[in-house]
Structures are given as structure tokens and as C-alpha cells.
Amino acid sequence: MAAMDTPSPVDDDARYLALCTRDARFDGRFFTGVTSTGIYCRPVCSVRTPRRANCRFFDGAAQAERAGFRPCLRCRPELAPQARTWSTQDASDLLVQHASRLLDDPAQWPGDDGPAMQRLATRLGVSDRHLRRVFEARLGVSPLQVLHTRRLLAAKQLLTDTALPVTAVAQASGFASLRRFNAALRERYGLNPTALRRSGTGATGGRAIALGWRPPLDAAALLRFLADRLLPGVDAVDLPALRYWRTLRLHNGNAAHTGWFGLQFEPERHRVWLHASDGLLPALPALIWRVRALCDLDADPLAIDAVLGAHFPGGTGLRVPGAIDGFELAVRAVLGQQVTVAAARTLAARLVARFGEPIATPDAALSRLFPTPQALAGADPAALGELGIVRQRQAAIQALARAVDSHALDLGPHADPVHTVQALQALPGIGAWTAQYIAMRALRWPDAWPAGDIALHNALGLQGTTRERERACETAGQAWKPWRSYAVLRTWAGLHTPQPPADPASITP
């Protein structure tokens, strides 16, 4: 694969070079609209490369669709990883970033468009007019157009890869009615649901969904991390086969769906196959979004390695394992305070056995759901104590459960990390390390930095008192912004290479 620098947003010649070489590292970072066909494609599309004069380049699918282009039925833009920007502290850019993360979650915005946009603006603490103005200035599209594009691409994926009834597809994709769904498909794509369904391969049995990523991704390392923390009855891992599967309770709007899903990694094709049980199919777009967060499929190795590569050689393929459920991850983080990973797993397994609900699955390895916030909030402290959970952690788990159950605390990947970390630390028994760990995995914050982590201190060779080591760790981490979560994972993997001091003779007076 040809090496090249990351193209700037206006460097269309570099984008055309990536298109000509079908460079998978740029998948999802831009889309190409072909004026001679009216179709927009991913950089990895296998069709004949169009002439440069016929190409228009867009940062996102919504911009391409606003310009009148339809998604390619071969490369399927809905399979591309999302593009994320984290390098700026400009207030408008941060607003767009947070809004885009909120729009990622299909469960957040079902129903009519107007109320959905008003709820989005209210949640962000701005007017809907200001939100539209900032989106237009930064992205060239409105937040509603972004939402429409994501709904339509989600529907396109469900129609192509599953046998869900059209009505169920419309509802799962967030459309208020089947009539609006059909009208949107005809207006934007010039197709009806039946025509889109015919474009599918039909080889997946109606349940398998392909999810792409930008290479490289070390699937074995990701699964080893999850295997070290798996819970009997809840999840299972087959490392040689690169498979992972687990049970899940998924809330989609006001409805709760339970079932199981499985993942099969296919590294040579830069994709993972998602298989979902019937119980989770009505919430499939929300499940897809959570799986992308769990496996960190939207990471941009080029941007991350530009900052970390010199200090952590060999770590380009490492991803930060996320969480399929933020509450579950947070409870397990509390149980892991000041104990080994194995000890935390033992406590979590006891918690599942005592408070988790049984679930019937075709696999004997999957038999229970992780306890709900309601179950743990109302648990008898004495029952928690019988499991070996000390009082301080009992109080922390129950305070956490009450906050999540009352919706006072959001632990999804769309949550604002700074505010959520502050809210977590305001709860009893949750300190800076736990809050940062939750932010790193559950909130998908790429810049989380648990400065009190002993493994970090040891890897960085820090000395002195606890306070002195934490200060030195905080200082060391400044060089790795905004990708400090990835620096943490690479440090835990033993990849940190101290940089030699500068040669005094090379320093200009």
C-alpha cells in the first residue's frame, strides 16, 4: 500500500491518490462523488477509478447526499468507519463534535424531526438556530441533514443485510412512519425498499452485518483484553477463531430488548461480522453503534500514530476496548479498585450469579444478563457483602446504580466526558482513577488519562511520593494529547520507549 501523509481537508489531489490506490487507511475520512454517475463512494470502492475531472470530494456522507449524490451499492458507504476530529479546542468545533456523537446513537432520536432537533439543542445548552448555524459553518450541512443521512444509511444496511420486515426497518432506523420512510428513500435514493433489498447478497441468512474499520487493527489483542475480563454466563471468547459473543439488554427509546450477539473478525478484509439474535433485531442500528464502540472500529490509526508512534513503536494496531454497556463497565471498574483483574472478575461473576437475570440462548456459555441498575440500586447491602464486596464499594455501586436509573448520569459513548467525569467523582467511592477508566472505555474518550495508575508510573519510571508521581505522570501525558487513552493502552502493553535526551550540541543557542 502506498505511503502518504494525511491529506488536509482541502487537499483533493491527495484524496484522489488515496482513491486510485484504494488505501483502506482513508476509509470513511472522505467520500468521492462521481459527477458522471451521480454516485458517491468510499475510497476503497472496487469499481473502475473515475477520471479526476469527474470527482468531487466530501468530508462526510451527509455532504455528498446534500450535493445530490446517491450511495454506491457496491462499496456501501454505510459500512465505512466514522471520521472523528479531536485535535481542536475551538468552542464551535467542540459543539459539533459533541452533537455528532449524540447523533450517532439511533436510540436517542426516534420520531419526528423537529422535536428531535429541539431536544438535541436543549441537551447541548444552545438554541436550535445556533446549532444549525455552527453545523452549516463547520460541515456545510445542518444537524437534521446529518440525522437524515444516518437514518437512511442505517435503513439501507438493514434492507440489504437482514430479512427484517420493511415496517420494522423503518421503525428501527428512527422514522416516525412507514410513509415517511418510503418517501425519504424515493426522494434521496430514487429507490423503494424492495429495490434496495434486491441489491443485497442474501448470503448472510438475514442476520449478519458487516462492519468496517481502518487498518491496522490487532483483533487478537482486542479479544485477549476482553478474554481476561470475561464473565461466565455473560460473554465468551474464542481467540484462535477470533470470535466473541455475549448476552445483552438493550434499551431503544422506551423499549427494552434482550438477546445475544456474536462477532467474527475478518482481518484480511478489514471487517467484523455481527450476528444478532431475533430479540435484538428491532434495535439493530443501536446495537451496531454499540459494537463499533466496543471494538473501537472508528479509530484513526494515522492520526493517533502521528502523535504516539515515536514513543510507542509497534502499537499502531492496538485499539482501546470499549464497553457494550456503560453501566456494566462502571460497576466492574468499581469492583476493580485496588485489586487484580482476576479478583475483579471473580467479584463481578458473583454479582451476575446473584442479581443477573437468566436468559435462554442456543449456547450453554451464555445464560445470564448483567444486573440492571434497578436490581443493584435496590439490593440489600448485606447481600452484596456476602459476595465479598466491601462496604465502600457497596456504597459506590448503589450510588452509581441510582444515578443511572434516575437518568441523572449518562454512561453512553455519546456522553460529555468532562461533565460525566465530574459527576462520577461526585459519587461516593469513585475517585479520579475510576472516573478516567470509565471515560476511556465507556464514554469512548480518546484523551482519558488516569494519572494515578501505578502501572503507568512503573512503565514511565516515575519516582517519589504518590502526589509527586501523579504530577509527573500528568506532565508526561501532555505530549500525547488528544490520544492519551491510546497511550495508556500501549503503556499497559509494555510498548513505551523513553525518548533519549536531546544532544546539547544540536540545540541552537
Q: Which backbone phi and psi does 277 adopt, to 5 degrees?
A: -75, 165
Task: Check residue 155 and give its pLDDT.
Answer: 92
Q: Is the pLDDT of residue 42 over 80?
A: yes
Q: Is the pLDDT of residue 242 over 80?
A: yes
Helices (H), 406-493: 417-425, 432-441, 454-460, 466-477, 484-492
Task: Check residue 207 and give its pLDDT.
Answer: 62
Q: Is the pLDDT of residue 443 over 70?
A: yes
Task: Check residue 499 and give its pLDDT.
Answer: 58
Task: Check residue 104 and give its pLDDT.
Answer: 83
Contact 333/432 with Cβ under 8 angstroms? no
Architecture of domain 91-198: Orthogonal Bundle (1.10)
pLDDT band for 423, please (50, 70, 90 cuts).
very high
Q: Give the mean model confidence (pLDDT) for residues 421-429.
A: 97
Cell numbers that stand for 462 in this block: 516515575
Q: What is the pLDDT of residues 131-161, one digit of tens each?
A: 999 999 999 999 999 999 999 999 999 998 8
Q: Is the pLDDT of residue 462 over 90?
A: yes
Q: Report d(CA 435, CA 437) in Å as an integer.
A: 5
pLDDT band for 5, please (50, 70, 90 cuts).
very low
326-444 is a CATH 3.10.20.340 domain: no
Cell numbers that stand for 113 in this block: 424531526
* CB neighbourhood size of 216 (10 A): 16
Residue ranges of the domains in the chain?
12-74, 91-198, 208-308, 326-444, 448-509
12-74 is a CATH 3.40.10.10 domain: yes
CATH of 208-308, one of 1.10.510.10, 3.30.310.20, 3.30.930.10, 3.90.870.10: 3.30.310.20
Taking each helix axis as running N to C, give the angle between helix 113-124 and helix 91-104, from 0 to 180 degrees, rounded to the nearest 10. Answer: 130
Q: Is the pLDDT of residue 205 over 80?
A: no
In order of 163, 275, 327, the CA distances from 260 in angstroms are 18, 9, 18
203-207, 429-433, 466-470: least confident range: 203-207
Same fold, 12-74 and 91-198: no
Q: Report d(CA 428, CA 237) in Å as an integer.
A: 34
Higher pLDDT, 488 or 252: 488
Task: Check residue 340 and give its pLDDT.
Answer: 92
Average pLDDT along the chain? 90
Residue of 72, 99, 77 lying closest to 30 (CA atoms):
77
Question: Annotated active-site positions, please?
Answer: 41, 453
In order of 112, 125, 286, the CA distances from 119 in angstroms are 11, 10, 19
Contact 456/450 with Cβ under 8 angstroms? yes
Q: Give the mean model confidence (pLDDT) for residues 54-60.
A: 96
